[in-house]
Structures are given as structure tokens and as C-alpha cells.
Structure 1
Amino acid sequence: MNGLVLGGTNSGVGKTIATLAVGTALEDAGIAVQPAKAGPDFIDPSHHEQVFDRPSRTLDCWLEGTDGLRRNYHRGEGDICLVEGVMGLYDGDGSSTAMVAEALDLPVVLVVDASAGMESVAATALGFQRYAAEAGRDIEVAGVIAQRCHGGRHEDGIREALPNELAYLGRIPPGGDLEIPDRHLGLEMGEEAGLTADQLQTASEHIHVEAIQEVATPAAEPATTDEQPAQRDARVAVAQDEAFCFAYPATIERLRSRADVVTFAPTTDAELPICDGVYLPGGYPELYAESLESSGALDDLADRATAGVPILGECGGLMALCEQLRTTDGAEYEMSGVLPAEVQMHDRYQALDHVELAAQRDTLTACRGEHRRGHEFHYSSLTVDSDAEFAFEMVRGDGITEEQDGLTEHKTLGTYCHLHPESGAFDSFIEVLCDESG
């Protein structure tokens, strides 16, 4: 499967719109698109899946390592993989867009804001291309897409100013309707604020499909084979609704390959399915706190936790496992009460980083002494009881409190850290379930 990376000059330049526009143009030409996202984001991939009806591959050097990243890429399907970048092309020490392009040996198409420039757009793109060589980065900036660019003289000026080694791959016209609304943690989810078919057609009309195909190249292969661990006799209940929507497709794929997976909706379901363990991914429990407060499924979850059923909660899942959630306007809602902590929402994010955890004891996602790499991004903080116990020390990142993460009670683990299955965390989780049900 050929691919290319859509990198930006900076955050907010319109990489998501560009990815959707290029993909729409390709699919209109009968070319199947496999979307992917550089970095640990959950929200942009939801827009990819909404448009292309195919799960977006998460590609992050820190979370997966080079080999894991390549394996995850090659699990995709399609004719061309479009990898949407994160932030500016070279930004980020854990896993920048440039690092992902290097790991996959894919060319970069630079998305440049052309709203207030012509020849300067070419100068900007040339600077990004030449910086790669100056900085010793093994990437090729192969072409340019002009974002917010009018036609006629505006487009001609940009195209004519580009040197021969930078292909002009088209433009996306300006327009306020080609915007996706923001909220905390990023854009709104794809099913909430996806662009209409007409909007995507408008955005894609001036993309040069043949030139895009010429730029795309095969990606580097992993050094190790993609061998999945054996299926085990276990049943996992995975929370999946508007409040718990931050699960990597690869995580659900790994769980399904190893166990029987059943989903449930904590915001509406009266009870928790019969299962050997529960996974509560991240999401927006604060937006659905009233429904969660009266949730029969969360009440059932508390009973199962007390009975010793292993439960893993990440970020939003951690919040739902706590005793109480307080919103920024002072409203208070009772949560499941499994973990001895209270949640406070804030107007500003409290942590944003790639993280590394060191296990201080055997727990659901790691054995004592093992390290796990992940990602944290949250607008909440926790106040924990004085006798609270933690499973992890932070090697990098903030965690829950005092450089610790992994709040534990019974056989429940709650963490601010989002983990990818390439870390081995979910294989460890399945093995614990089998030992418990044993």
C-alpha cells in the first residue's frame, strides 16, 4: 500500500480538512483510501472514519516503537494511505510528524496556509524542505497543498513560485463552512460535527489526484513479523458510547483477537454484561455526568469491582471509577465510587504529554518492574484519599498525583495514561483475566 504524510507548517493550518479533501478526491476517482493519524489523537481519526468508513491507524513512535508503528500501518487496507500529521511538521520530541515520516520512509506533502501569501507560500515550503537536510532529518518534502487559496492569479502565483522539486498538488478554497468546531481536548468528534458530502466535494474539487498518486510511495516494512498472541478463554466488556469514545482501533482489534468482546453503553444501559473483565476507555464523562450518575451499568460495575472483577479505566474511564465528579460550574455528580478519589474539571488542560510509567507492583497492564509508554491529555484533576495506593511511578509525565499513576482498589486500575496495544499492556490485561477466571 503506497502512502504519504500530510504535514503542516503549524497547528491549526487545516491538516484534517486537507486530509479529508485529498481522500475524497481520491475516492471519487475510484482509489480506496486508508486513513491514518500521526500522534496519539482520538478525535481527528473519528473524522477520518466518518468520511472513509474505515478505522484510522494510529501511528506514534513513542507509543508503538518503529517496528510496532510499521506493523500497525501495514494492517491497513486500501490503495493509498493518507497519514495526517500532528502540530507542525517538526514539532514534538516524543513522536513528531517528521519522525513518523522517517519511520515509514514516506514522502511529506506540506499543507501551507495561503490566505495571505503567494510567493511567500513557496518560500515557506522551500524552507521546510531544506530544513530537513540541514537538521539531518531523513525525510522528503515532496509537494505542497495550498490551504485557503483562491483560484486564478492567487493560485497561479503560488504554483509558478514553487521550485521544480516541490510538486504543486492542488488547493483548498477558503470558506468558513470548511471548519470543524473546537471544544476541550480538540475538535468535536466526527459523528457530531462531520463535514457534509457537499462541503467535502467543494474542498476536494481542486486537488490534483494524478499528482498525489505520483508522490505516494510504498512504506517501510517491519523487521519482525506481525504475530498475534494466542486466543484465550476470556470475555471483556468494553464501554462504548458518547461518554467513552477514546479507544484506539488497534486496541479493540487486539482484544477481539485474544478474547470475546462485548460492548455496553454506560450512559444508557441498565446493567453490565456478564464478563471476566471490563475496559473503560477515555472520552467525555463530564459531558454526560447526569446520565452516568443514574447509570445502572455503573452501579453494576461497582458491585463487580467489589467482587474482584478486573476493571481497567483510562482517563475518562478513571473519572467514572471515582466517587464524585465536579464540573467547572460547581455541579457535583456521583460516579461509581470504586476508586477513593474525587474529580474536578478545569477550564485549562492539566496535562499534555507522552508519558512513561514504571510498575511498582504487579497490576492489570504490567508486571512489577516493567515500563509502559503512553499519552495523557486531560482537563481534570483528582483529589485522592490519604491511604490511596498507586501501581506506577512516573518516569515521564504528570500522572494522577505526586508523580504517580495507576490508582488501585480491589482488582481495579484507573490511570490517566492512554496505552496502545503495541506496548503489551492489553496482552497483560487478557492474561490477568484468564488467571482470575482460571
Structure 2
Amino acid sequence: MLADKTILLVIGGGIAAFKALDLMRRLRERGARIVPVLTPAAEQFVTPLSVSALAGHKVYRDLFDLTDEAEMGHIELSRSADLILVAPATANLMARMAGGLADDLATTLLLATDTPVMVVPAMNVRMWLHPATQRNLEVLRADGIKVVGPVDGDMACGEHGPGRMSEVSDIVAAVAAHFSDGPLAGKHVLVTSGPTHEPIDPVRYIANRSSGAQGTALAVALRDLGARVSFVTGPADVPPPEGVEVHAVQTAQQMLAAVEGALPADAAVMAAAVADWRVATASDSKMKKVGSGAVPALNFVENPDILRTVAQADQRPKLVVGFAAETDDVVAHATAKRARKGCDWIVANDVSPATGIMGGTENAVTLITGKGAETWPRLSKGETARRLAARIAEALE
């Protein structure tokens, strides 16, 4: 899928640099030609010899190397690739890119190029969440630079949270999507999926019967049309697909934070079955029976309205698609929901127990738009996803 494509790989100086070694191997397996560039800090984590061996190409390291400048000057090097991939992109490297600095070979190449650039951030969770890093991220996105990840996970420093470098398979899929000639090539689509779990105490929670199968199928269908997919999923019964940016969450509040962090996007498909309420104050310890037949009182508060938040966001996607799982008066309730939430489309379905749709393998939906209601036949969730993805591609053209 990447045959005849030249990728200039800039390896930043972070512990995640070791992933760049596997990344080069995977990209070469798909036919790409890798031209590696090491920052001085990167050499503290990976060696030029290992990088050269896995890239199958000479490593570029020094801006003032007379031999390299004679063979291929940094200006020519910066423009000879089909894509410049920065992986990992550290907080420092992103800051220098956003500021337009050119104080080493990597930043000089990035400033002197007119080639598309894709960055894969990786850093400590506090660094990623720092306002300075978020400002730099917005500058890079505004400059047209594509961003892959980061994802939530364990850090080498022992902390947990957003900032972990995306998995190699996801980076490869993002690169492939960049070069794809599919109708969604170059588009970023946000998909939410699965249920949310709202804790009552450490062992009990409020949830619903959503399996996450429909949202997962949608992520796959959109990915296969060339989109870069940010996939925010609750604790679903099905594993997340490969080739998408996965953000795993538990609660509605966590899902909202992940969704807002994934914006801007060209489209948002909000397929998650978010719990409407949560316990106002979850117990820190397991609630015990008192033996007298007394039942504890649970005080509920409303969860954030994620669909409405996205539909009214300053960075509102061009297309916002909501889902409505109903048990009666499906079209009427879903039509009212579309108006109430401010989204463009609503995908409505009947999830009453007799249908077997909630948690099943098939779906029967009605697509509600500004033009009215369009009822689709009962299909597999995969085919339903492919139909909806095709309609989304048409809307974004």
C-alpha cells in the first residue's frame, strides 16, 4: 500500500523512540522507503547503527555535516520525501516546530519543507496536558500538520494518562490513510462507542447493554474509506479495531474529556450509549447491607450531554451524527432528539427486547436528516456501518 513512497522519519528524543525501530520495519514491509533523521537527543535512546540497519538507509544527524550537504543538502532532503513523519514528537520538538525554530537538522528540515508533515506526540502526561503544549498543538494543527495520538496508557515514569505514543499499527494505518485514494482520505472522523460505567462504589456501577459492536464497525468502515479515525470507547464487549486512534474510557465525564481532546474533526459520529445519570458521590468503599432490610439511597445527577456539547462546540465538525436507541415511537422521539441536540443526523433504532438489536449482530435503523426519515432494512452491523460511512463520505465531499 506504500510502494514507491518515501517517508522522511524524524526520530525525537524520548523513551518512545524505541518504537521507531519497529515502525520502520512495518513501513518497509508495506513498500515504503525510509530516510531516517535522528535528533541529538534521540541518540540517547536509539543508536544510528540500529536505525540505519532497520531503515535500510543512511542516517542523517548533523546540520553541518559537509559530506551530507555535498551529497544531498538539507533543503533537497526536506523536499525529496512524500511525507515527513515525526515519531516520537516530544514536547520540546513540538514547541520548536510551533515556534518556527531551525536550530538542528530536524527542525531545519521541518521549516524548509513544503512536504506534508505528520507528528506522533509522546511525552509525560503532565507535559501533554500543560497549556503550553496544547497551545503548540493548536498552532501545528492550524499549520496543516496531521497529529496521530497520543493515547491513554502507562508511562515509563510510572504515571498513567494521555501522552503515550500511539501503537505502531495505528501509526502505520494513519500513514496509509494519508496516501489512500479513498473518499475520506485526509479527513479526520471522531467516533464514540460502547457503554459508559458510572461507579456506585468500587465494585458496582450503572451501565447499559450496549456491546459497542456498531460503533466499532463504524470505525472500521470509516478507516477503510481512508479517514483518520479517533475512536473513543467505553468498556465494550468487542475489542477496538486496528488502525485507529483508540481512547479507552470508563465514565461519561472521561468520554467528554477524550472527545474534546480529539477535536477538531471533519465529522463526529456519536454512537456511544452514554449513561444519562451518575451517582452524585460514589462511595470509596464497598457499600454493605445493614441487615435490617434498609436500602441505601442513591442520589443521581445528570451526566454531561456529549452529543449536544459537540454540536455546539466552537470547533464543531462539519457533520455531527447522533444515535437514538428507543423502545417506542422511534422516529418521533429521534426526530425530536435531533432538534434538541442540534446535530445534523440521527441514526435511530428500536432496541426493545423483542428486536434483539441491543447486544446483537444486526441492526435496523432509520436515518433522520433535515430532509426527513429514511428507513433502512435490517442488516448486519458491519453492512449498516458501511452504508453510513458511504453517506458520511458523500456529505463531506
* TM-score (normalised: structure 1): 0.28
Higher relative contact order (CA 8 A, sep 6+): 1
* TM-score (normalised: structure 2): 0.30
